Structure 1
Amino acid sequence: MKCTVNRLTLAIGLVVAAAVGPAIAQTPAPSQNATINLIRLLVQQGVLKQDQAQALIAQAESEAQQARASVAAVPAANGEVRVQYVPAIVREQIRDEIKAEVMATAKQENWAAPNTFPDWASRISFDGDVRLRNESRYYSGSNSNEIVDFAKLNDKGPYDVNPNNGRNLPPLLNTREDRENILRLRARFGLTAVLAPTWTAGIRIGTGSDNNPVSTTQTLGGGFDKKDLWLDRGYLSWTPSERLTLTGGRIANPFLSTDILYSNDLNFDGLAAILKQPLDNGVSLFGTVGAFPVEYSSDTSSSNGLDKEESDNKWLYGAQFGADWKINQGNSLKGALAYYRFDDIAGQRSSPCQPWNGDPACDTDGSRPTFMQKGNTLFLLRDITPNPANPAATPQPQFVGLASEFDLLDLNLIWDAELPGDFKVRSQGNYIRNLAYDEGDIRKRSDGMLANNFDEAGNIKSGGDAWMVQFTLGNALELKKQGDWNLFAGYKYIEPDAMPDGFNDSSFHLGGTNAKGYVLGANYGIEKNIIATARWLSSEAVYGAPFDIDVLQLEVNTRF
């Protein structure tokens, strides 16, 4: 730094000398504009601080005055006085050369602009969060211990359902043994890049025990093995105007919804258009339309069969329209109505097939859901022809599929209000109706081969409605700083076929449908961006065998 100051002093001194030249030539008092302008330029470009610049200007002016005062005529031999003269064009040339040399050295040594970055760095931002959770799961001792884990049956199957072929049980859910103090971690890290004024790209990676779509939480332990990272998001967005954004890839949930329908960790694969239109009187309209591929069936199913299965691509189409109304300073109301259509998500009964005779698969195996939790009404997919030589013992290796279609009507309402004493309250309601739920259609599709959700008389025990209410009270609804807090309480009721069971919250009833119960909890801001949460979730089955689950979650959430 000392070397830098010396160079600057030398440069400024030379300019001062050039400016003093006219004084020696007996011209009027010299102007200091060249020196002062150079110093100000160096300040603007970050070379000098303002206080340093003022000191140099004062020094230059002092030295110039001393130079004027000390000009003395030097007598020559003949009595003449010689005065050195520097032409203006030479002074300007010296000034420009010194300026160029100083700035080139400053850039080379990286002290000309120490607080700047490459252009790409200013267009990229990072964000992330880390959550540490202690979770305990408590099961009622009166729960049935014969509840089949159909998700595992599909994943590990097919499973032979013929009781005459041995006593091997199907995969069963744990319904009675508590699981206490499970330490779990969620860590996510994202990058957002502004490619152009209207184009943005983003990538986010996250933890997860497996590739299920509804949770990025990783259970710790496992012999201290390394943990997996998954591509959680990857998208490209185009915003041609403030009112419209088009985005595609693996994107955040573009709809206003609650976790009774879509888990907070759920991301969507596909395309969405998001519209916003502000109006007068504090009203703003919004809407979303989107198309999302849920699953593309394999081009080679079955892998070792001569005949390939028909392509059954499953899609989700969604449209939502809503309004946000700022009623007054202390009250706001937001509401939205959405329609979601799941195409070809229901299972299909196969053509007659003979796995016992060497058939590698049956032609509708691919109609089983890629991912499921529990609760939906299911049926056996394969129509297996009995072996004439031993019909009673014919193996019946089966997969299961969804018995109902799903066309969902979703209504959301949120009212935020300010109360006396700096309290704030949020009242939230969500109602969902599966318009495609029909018991007659379920019986026809399943051909009477239901796997669950029926009583001893064969009556279907299901329904197509779900709803929830929740209230939040505190000094802040969205915690942002130390000391912010709120309390929340809610109730959920989800009939078995109100929605696909694969996409909603994985904590309440440990995921899925056919559940009802309440949620209690509290949030507290420990520091900025650090929040402590305690949550108690108590649930039981709506229909069928007793299945009560209580979940306690104690966690610290951080974000950056």
Structure 2
Amino acid sequence: MNHPANSRRHAQPARKTHALAAATAIALLGASGAGYAQSAAPADSTMVKLIRGLMQSGALKKDAGEALLAQAQTEAMAQQQAQRLASASATAAGGMRVEPGDVRVPYISDTVRDQIRDEVKGQVMAQAQAEGWAAPNETPEWTKRIRIEGDVRVRDESRFYSSNNSDIAIDWAAINQSSGFDVNPNTNLSLPPLVNTRQNRVSLLRARARFGVLADISDSTHAGIRIATGNDDSPVSTNQTLGGGLAKKNVWLDQGWLSYKPAEWVNLTAGRFGNPFVSSDLLFSNDLNFDGLAAQFDKALPNRDVALFGTLGLVPLEYSSDSFPSRSQNKASSEKKWLLGAQIGASWKLNNDNRLRGALAYYDFRNVSGQVSQPCALYAGADGCSTDWSRPAFMQKGNTLMLLRNIALNPLDPAGTPQPQYVGLASKFQLLDLNFRWETKVAGSLGLRMDANYIRNLAYDEGGMFSRANGGIVNNFGGSGGTSRADFKSGGNAYMFQATLGKPVTLARGDWNMLLGYKRIEPDAMPDGYNDSTFHLGGTNARGYYVGGSYALDKNTWVTGRWTSTKEVYGPPLAIDILQVEINTRF
């Protein structure tokens, strides 16, 4: 059975040969004058048959073919009548007789012959250009609709920790990814997993590589696939730390999407795609991709200096396991965590030197908060607790956390009952996001861009968190060591300011920029799992500044350096400084 692609490849030369042969036949036949050829007597003249054949093959348009057919039939009839008269005259005069089986080839005028030649030539050339064989080195048409893109970055990163930092920083993410941590001191004397807070890490060589294929299916439909490196399946970083005994590195599916534009001003996207919202890395990391559905709107107003834009997003964050609990005949009901996002904004060109852009967004993180379980008798062999699903699939650090399991004690040995716990987010998250940008020129033609971002968690409620946790809050207490509500410190606000001087994107050789910025992120201003993984090494409960710059060594190749200095907002001291020097290229 022939593959469709092979059939198309064979069909193109066949159509080419057929069309060229037809054109040659018309030219040769049209060039001949009136005469006779010895052949079997046809019902129609040879010219009539040829025109009909060209019409059936599509090499000759129907309207032009019918006109030529009528003319050819008329001329054939006239020639036949003239032939009979000439034959009779010749017989009477003793001249040459027309024998049975002789065929009279009608005469075609120069005008008609030129019209046929031009028509066929136009049809053949149009077909050749459409199918990609008009020129010897022409590529097939479908290859013109496929594009590739990618980038490579090599970074040297150093992390510097203050010697005054607290040496007890629990790795809550590691607890959630394991079988839990036993909080009963009678059955567990070991410490929970801890993150490094005092030992510097100098000259970590890291690389990032991304490769994508984009397809223009039609003017309205597009699709794309991208793969990327990464140490793990973290949603906020595609960095790969080098070393590891020179072992091969991981590659992940970074994007896979399709989009459709029902109108010029709206674009619908489904799959896994880049951030569809106008935002900064205060909330969403630049490496973060979104799963689900997004609708983007962009409409310029009649004066063309103002454009309105907007986005609606439906993002599934996590589904509970279909087989939970795995060792129980009674399975738990399905639980889903969602992000519902809506944004509206406008961009305004004031003049050639000044542009403004503003956006207002609302993000509703549904069902992401932790829930205390029903009593679960783990000592009796229960396979997990009812709300184990509510622990976050990915977290960095900073959010207020609560214990999830209501573990029943063994009545025969209550003090000796192990109590392995998971943690979940104590707060709810409904975010109001204000984003502003001003682009202008200073010192003549030097570009200056000012960015500001403010985020407020409208669902932040300290009393609600303590009520939801039922006394199980485990972090974000002051540095005094107390764990009562009076010692609790958190907040629901975050903001950022950033100034960029020079070319924001350094693509041409000699382009450069310098930037300076400041961020403050209170512990429960947002979920800590989705923002920039460099600032304070990711998460919330952080404040500090960053400074850096870039210079383009060549086309699409540039070097960048950045220094970031951060501290905690509340709680035990945690100061982290980070130096990054890197070279980037894109294609």
TM category, shorter? 0.7 to 0.9
Instruction: Work out whether 1:189 is the aligned partner of 2:235.
Output: no
Instruction: Work out whether 1:555 is the aligned partner of 2:582.
Output: yes
Aligned with 2:221 (options 171, 176, 199): 199
> Which residue number in structure 2 is paired with residue 127 of structure 1?
149
Q: CA deviation at 1:423?
A: 1.0
**Mapping of 1:35-54 within 5 angstroms?**
none
8 Å contact from structure 1 (residues 186, 217) kept in 2: yes
8 Å contact from structure 1 (residues 298, 311) kept in 2: yes
SS in 2 for 1:164: coil
Aligned with 2:529 (options 502, 509, 514): 502
Q: CA deviation at 1:420?
A: 2.1
Which residue identity is paired with 2:422? F
**Mapping of 1:227-238 within 5 angstroms?**
227-238=249-260
Query: What is the CA–CA distance in structure 1 between the aligned matches of 2:402 and 2:367, rounded to whole Å?
Result: 15
Q: Deviations over 1:203-257 (max 9, x none)?
A: 1111111111101111111111111111111111001111000111001100000
Query: What is the CA–CA distance in structure 1 between the aligned matches of 2:508 and 2:304, rounded to whole Å?
Result: 31
Instruction: Work out whether 1:472 is the aligned partner of 2:495.
Output: no
Q: Deviations over 1:372-398 (max 9, x none)?
A: 011100011000112222222211100
Query: What is the CA–CA distance in structure 2 between the aligned matches of 1:162 and 1:147, rounded to whole Å?
Result: 19
Aligned with 1:275 (options 283, 286, 297): 297
Which residue identity is paired with 2:297? L
Aligned with 1:387 (options 410, 413, 438): 410
Query: What is the CA–CA distance in structure 2 between the aligned matches of 1:457 and 1:254, rounded to whole Å?
Result: 41
Query: What is the CA–CA distance in structure 2 between the aligned matches of 1:534 and 1:429, rounded to whole Å?
Result: 22
> Which residue number in structure 1 is paired with residue 334 of structure 2?
311
Q: Deviations over 1:341-370 (max 9, x none)?
A: 000000100001111221111000011000
> Which residue number in structure 1 is paired with residue 550 of structure 2?
523
Query: What is the CA–CA distance in structure 2 between the aligned matches of 1:88 and 1:230, rounded to whole Å?
Result: 72
Q: Deviations over 1:431-478 (max 9, x none)?
A: 00000010111011100111111240513211100000000112x222
Aligned with 2:484 (options 438, 443, 458): 458
Q: Which moved more, 1:380-389 or 1:266-275?
A: 380-389
8 Å contact from structure 1 (residues 466, 493) kept in 2: yes
8 Å contact from structure 2 (residues 339, 363) kept in 1: yes
Query: What is the CA–CA distance in structure 1 between the aligned matches of 2:517 and 2:219, rounded to whole Å?
Result: 42
> Which residue number in structure 1 is paired with residue 448 of structure 2?
425
SS in 2 for 1:443: helix
Aligned with 2:461 (options 428, 438, 441): 438
8 Å contact from structure 1 (residues 346, 367) kept in 2: yes
Aligned with 1:163 (options 185, 190, 201): 185
Query: What is the CA–CA distance in structure 2 between the aligned matches of 1:183 and 1:505, rounded to whole Å?
Result: 19
SS in 2 for 1:444: helix
Instruction: Point out where structure 2 has 5 or more consecutive residues left out of the alignment.
Output: 1-26, 34-105
Query: What is the CA–CA distance in structure 1 between the aligned matches of 2:566 and 2:136, rounded to whole Å?
Result: 59
> Which residue number in structure 2 is paired with residue 284 of structure 1?
307
Query: What is the CA–CA distance in structure 1 between the aligned matches of 2:536 and 2:252, rounded to whole Å?
Result: 25
Q: CA deviation at 1:124?
A: 0.7
Query: What is the CA–CA distance in structure 1 between the aligned matches of 2:526 and 2:134, rounded to whole Å?
Result: 62
Query: What is the CA–CA distance in structure 2 between the aligned matches of 1:347 and 1:311, rounded to whole Å?
Result: 16
8 Å contact from structure 2 (residues 315, 338) kept in 1: yes
Q: CA deviation at 1:90?
A: 12
> Which residue number in structure 2 is paired with residue 301 of structure 1?
324
Q: Deviations over 1:264-306 (max 9, x none)?
A: 0000001011001111261100000110000011111111123
Query: What is the CA–CA distance in structure 2 between the aligned matches of 1:197 and 1:485, rounded to whole Å?
Result: 36
**Residues 268, 89 of structure 1: alpha-carbon distance in 2 compared, 3 angstrom cutoff:** same
> Which residue number in structure 1 is paired with residue 238 of structure 2?
216
8 Å contact from structure 1 (residues 185, 219) kept in 2: yes
Q: CA deviation at 1:166?
A: 3.1
> Which residue number in structure 2 is paired with residue 534 of structure 1?
561
> Which residue number in structure 1 is paired with residue 392 of structure 2?
369
Query: What is the CA–CA distance in structure 2 between the aligned matches of 1:307 and 1:170, rounded to whole Å?
Result: 32
Which residue identity is paired with 1:534? G
8 Å contact from structure 1 (residues 486, 524) kept in 2: yes
> Which residue number in structure 1 is paired with residue 158 of structure 2?
136
Which residue identity is paired with 1:239? K
8 Å contact from structure 2 (residues 493, 521) kept in 1: yes
Instruction: Point out where structure 1 has 5 or more consecutive residues left out of the alignment.
Output: 1-14, 22-86
Aligned with 1:486 (options 506, 513, 517): 513
8 Å contact from structure 2 (residues 182, 188) kept in 1: no
Q: Deviations over 1:171-212 (max 9, x none)?
A: 101101111111111111111111122111111111111111
8 Å contact from structure 1 (residues 305, 361) kept in 2: no
Instruction: Work out whether 1:226 is the aligned partner of 2:248.
Output: yes
> Which residue number in structure 1 is paired with residue 197 of structure 2?
175
8 Å contact from structure 1 (residues 310, 363) kept in 2: no
> Which residue number in structure 2 is paired with residue 399 of structure 1?
422
Query: What is the CA–CA distance in structure 2 between the aligned matches of 1:274 and 1:174, rounded to whole Å?
Result: 42
Instruction: Work out whether 1:513 is the aligned partner of 2:531.
Output: no
8 Å contact from structure 1 (residues 316, 342) kept in 2: yes
> Which residue number in structure 2 is paired with residue 79 of structure 1?
none
8 Å contact from structure 2 (residues 166, 573) kept in 1: yes
Which residue identity is paired with 2:192? P
Which residue identity is paired with 1:212? S
8 Å contact from structure 2 (residues 404, 422) kept in 1: yes
8 Å contact from structure 1 (residues 309, 364) kept in 2: no
> Which residue number in structure 2 is paired with residue 114 of structure 1?
136
8 Å contact from structure 1 (residues 464, 496) kept in 2: yes
8 Å contact from structure 1 (residues 131, 185) kept in 2: yes
Q: Deviations over 1:140-194 (max 9, x none)?
A: 1111111100001101231101112232111101101111111111111111111
Query: What is the CA–CA distance in structure 2 between the aligned matches of 1:512 and 1:366, rounded to whole Å?
Result: 21
> Which residue number in structure 2 is paired with residue 414 of structure 1?
437
**Residues 166, 290 of structure 1: alpha-carbon distance in 2 compared, 3 angstrom cutoff:** closer
Which residue identity is paired with 2:185? P
8 Å contact from structure 2 (residues 336, 367) kept in 1: yes
Normalization by structure 2: what TM-score? 0.77
> Which residue number in structure 2 is paired with residue 59 of structure 1?
none
Query: What is the CA–CA distance in structure 2 between the aligned matches of 1:306 and 1:162, rounded to whole Å?
Result: 29
Q: Give me the CA root mean square deviation.
A: 2.6
SS in 2 for 1:230: strand
SS in 2 for 1:227: coil
Q: CA deviation at 1:112?
A: 5.9
Q: Deviations over 1:8-36 (max 9, x none)?
A: xxxxxxx9xx99x9xxxxxxxxxxxxxxx
